[in-house]
Amino acid sequence: MGTKGSYTGNGTPASKQLQHNVTQWLDALAGSGPGAPPPQLNTDQLIPALGLFRPSGGHADGPGGEAGGVGGGGSGGGAQRSIARSSRTAGRAAAAAYAYRTGNAQALQELGLDYAQLQAAAADPIDWTRRIVDAACGPLADGTIEDQERRFVASEVAQWVLEAGTDSAPPSPDEVVRETLALIIFEAVISETASKMNDGSRPAWATSDGERQLRETARALADRASLTITGPSPTEITQAVEEGITAMRSIWMEP
C-alpha cells in the first residue's frame, strides 16, 4: 500500500470531492495577500470524509458512490475503511487511557492491561503509548493506509486523554468520544489529501497552517455530532464512537 506520502486517495467520489474541497481552500489560503484575512475551512467542506467509511453491510462513499473501482471498498488498492473497525480500535484506546487516568484497574484488565505495569511505564511516554496501542489494535499488519491510520488514531487519542483537563478533572466521556471522532476524521482526511497538500506547489507555511485548520475543523465537525454516551467502559465508548460516525454519515450524506 505504501505510506501517506505516496498515497493518492482511494479514487471514490467521496475522496475526489474531499480532495477538491481541501485543495481549493488551500490554494486560496496560499494566495491570500499580506494583511488579508485567511480563508477559513468550514465543517461542510469536510463532510465528504464521512463517506470514506463503510457502514456495516454497506459501501463507503454515500449515495451514488462506487465502493469498488480504483481502490474503493472492494478489492482495489485504496484504503478500505469501515466504521466498525475504526471505532473499535480508537474506542478501545480511548477507554484504556481513560481507565488509566481514573485508576480503573478492572477496566484495564478487561483490555489485557495491568495498571501497575502501565504506571511503571509512565516515565517513558513512548512505551506507555505502545502498550495502549497494542492492546487496542492487536496484531494489525501495519501494511495498509487503514492500519496506519488506526494505529495513529489510537496513539493520539491515548495521549490526549492522558493530558487533557487537569489532575483532578479528567475529560468527560463525552469529550473523549468527540476527540476520538475528530481524530478518526482528521486522519482519514490527511491520508486522502496528503499527496495534493504536499506536492510542493504552495509555500510551507500554507501547508502547515492548512493541517492545523484541518484538525480544528475535524473537531468542530465532531462537536456537531449528537451523542449518547452512557459511561467510560470500553464497550460504551466504542459503541458511542461507532454510533456517532454512523449518525453523522446518515444525516449529512444519505438522503
Report the residue count for the chain.
255
Task: Write down the H helix ranges in 34-172.
Answer: 83-101, 105-110, 115-121, 125-137, 145-163
Burial 208-231 (b: 16+ CB within 10 A, else e): eebbebbbebbbebbeebebebee
pTM of the model: 0.87
pLDDT mean over 211-223: 95
Cell numbers 472492494: residue: 74
Say if residue 73's pLDDT is above 50. Answer: no
Asked if 80 and 54 count as a contact pair (C-beta separation under 8 A), the reply is yes
* Cβ neighbours of 91 (radius 10 Å): 27
What backbone torsions phi and psi does residue 62 show, to the nearest 5 degrees?
A: 80, -165
Q: How far is it, in rounded angstroms, from Cα 114 to Cα 111?
A: 9
Report the pLDDT value the prediction gives residue 70, as an integer from 0 to 100. 29
Supply the pLDDT for residue 142: 59
Segment 77-83 mean pLDDT:
79
